[in-house]
């Protein structure tokens, strides 16, 4: 019987800035406390760019590690997809800067913006490209510099975000491993709950109509929480149901690392023990599109993912966007 062609993750890489911002340091910057932050978010520290640094530096580092582990040269890449809200520039794109620095002279390159769901959106695209072009090798990167879009005077948001990058190389698999199914979703009706208005064509840079606060991330946390837990559970259960699986079949769940309470809610709804849901938010905070690839890298490194394991990745993000990918490792 002929094996169905699937796309598969060949190798992972990650990179984060060396500068760490702890909760204790945040206590000196804004009215908050280590206990308050941990109880409400689960975050203890986050990595942030130093002055003069750019996120493309870490996107390239993560990409190089993934390529080295995949035993590929940059010239063998056919496509680079970068999921990001915070590229170095609006033009050229982050993917173009990565392509240049890697020397990936045979690869096409583009950025994708789907907020915190961006990596899973990009991975689902890579899956389709590889299925239609079985010899292709696609580099998928999630990279964010949310510290550059954070209002450090707003205690409700400044405690949440961190910077970093994760990368995977995707290629064809004739084996049982690879992407089994995915769901992409969106709901624009609630977009005012989580915004970053300044800098676009509606409110361009230095637009005097817009208060400076609108050039940073603004969020109505309680309402976002309600939507996040509902949609992540819905996507997870739908993926399992339509593939004839139950949550007990899952070896590991890697959720978007936005808030520990959201992750715990999802774990409880799926009735999974803690060891089957990966958590690293305490070290990195919410790194948006970089969250899942960083977690994926660490899960593999820690031995939490083994050949044949059934993996579910699920995310939500501003907009709102939602995504889930089910795969056999």
List, by residue number, the catalytic residues: 116, 256, 286
Give the count of beta carbons closer than 10 Å to the beta carbon of residue 204: 11
Which residue(s) pair with 171 in the sheet?
Answer: 8
**And the tokens for 96?**
């173009």
Cα–Cα dist 205/114, whole Å: 22
Give the count of beta carbons closer than 10 Å to the beta carbon of residue 211: 10
Q: Are 165 and 143 in contact (CB under 8 A)?
A: yes
Give the chain as a 3 state SS string. CCCCCEEEEEEEEEECCCCEEEHHHHHCCCCCCHHHHHHHHCCCEEECCCCCCCHHHHHHHHHHHHHHHCCCCHHHCCEEEEECCCCCCCCCCHHHHHHHHHCCCCCEEEEECCHHHHHHHHHHHHHHHHHHCCCCCEEEEEEEEHHHHCCCCCHHHHCCECEEEEEEEEEEECCCCEEEEEEEEECHHHHHHEECCCCCCCCCCCCCCCCHHHHCCEECHHHHHHHHHHHHHHHHHHHHHHCCCCHHHCCEEEECCCCHHHHHHHHHHHCCCHHHECCCHHHHCECHHHHHHHHHHHHHHCCCCCCCCEEEEEEEECCCEEEEEEEEC
**And the tokens for 162?**
């961190």
Cα–Cα dist 213/326, whole Å: 38
């Amino acid at each position: 019987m002929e094996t169905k062609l699937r796309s598969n993750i060949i190798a992972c890489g990650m990179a984060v800035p060396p500068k760490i911002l702890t909760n204790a340091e945040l206590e000196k910057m804004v009215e908050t406390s280590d206990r308050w932050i941990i109880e409400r978010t689960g975050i203890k520290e986050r990595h942030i760019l130093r002055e003069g640094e750019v996120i493309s530096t870490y996107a390239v580092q993560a990409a190089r590690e993934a390529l080295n582990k995949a035993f590929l040269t940059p010239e063998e890449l056919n496509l680079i997809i970068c999921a990001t809200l915070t590229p170095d520039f609006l033009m050229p794109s982050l993917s173009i800067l990565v392509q240049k620095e890697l020397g990936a002279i045979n690869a096409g390159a583009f950025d994708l913006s789907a907020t915190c769901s961006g990596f899973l959106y990009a991975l689902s695209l890579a899956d389709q490209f590889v299925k239609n072009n079985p010899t292709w090798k696609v580099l998928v990167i999630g990279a964010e510099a949310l510290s550059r879009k954070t209002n450090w005077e707003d205690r409700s948001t400044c405690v949440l975000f961190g910077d970093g990058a994760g990368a995977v190389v995707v290629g064809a698999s004739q084996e049982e491993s690879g992407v089994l199914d995915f769901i992409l979703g969106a709901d624009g009706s609630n977009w005012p709950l989580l915004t970053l208005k300044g800098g676009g064509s509606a409110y361009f840079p230095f637009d005097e109509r817009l208060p400076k606060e609108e050039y940073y991330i603004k969020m109505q946390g309680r309402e976002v929480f309600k939507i996040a837990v509902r949609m992540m559970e819905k996507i997870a259960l739908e993926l399992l149901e339509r593939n004839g699986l139950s949550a007990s079949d899952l070896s590991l769940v890697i959720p978007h690392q936005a808030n520990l309470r959201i992750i715990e809610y999802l774990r409880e709804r799926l009735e999974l023990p803690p060891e089957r849901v990966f958590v690293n938010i305490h070290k990195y905070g919410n790194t948006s599109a970089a969250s899942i690839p960083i977690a994926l890298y660490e899960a593999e490194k820690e031995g939490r993912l083994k050949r044949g394991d059934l993996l579910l990745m699920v995310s939500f993000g501003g907009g709102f966007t939602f995504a889930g990918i089910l795969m056999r490792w």
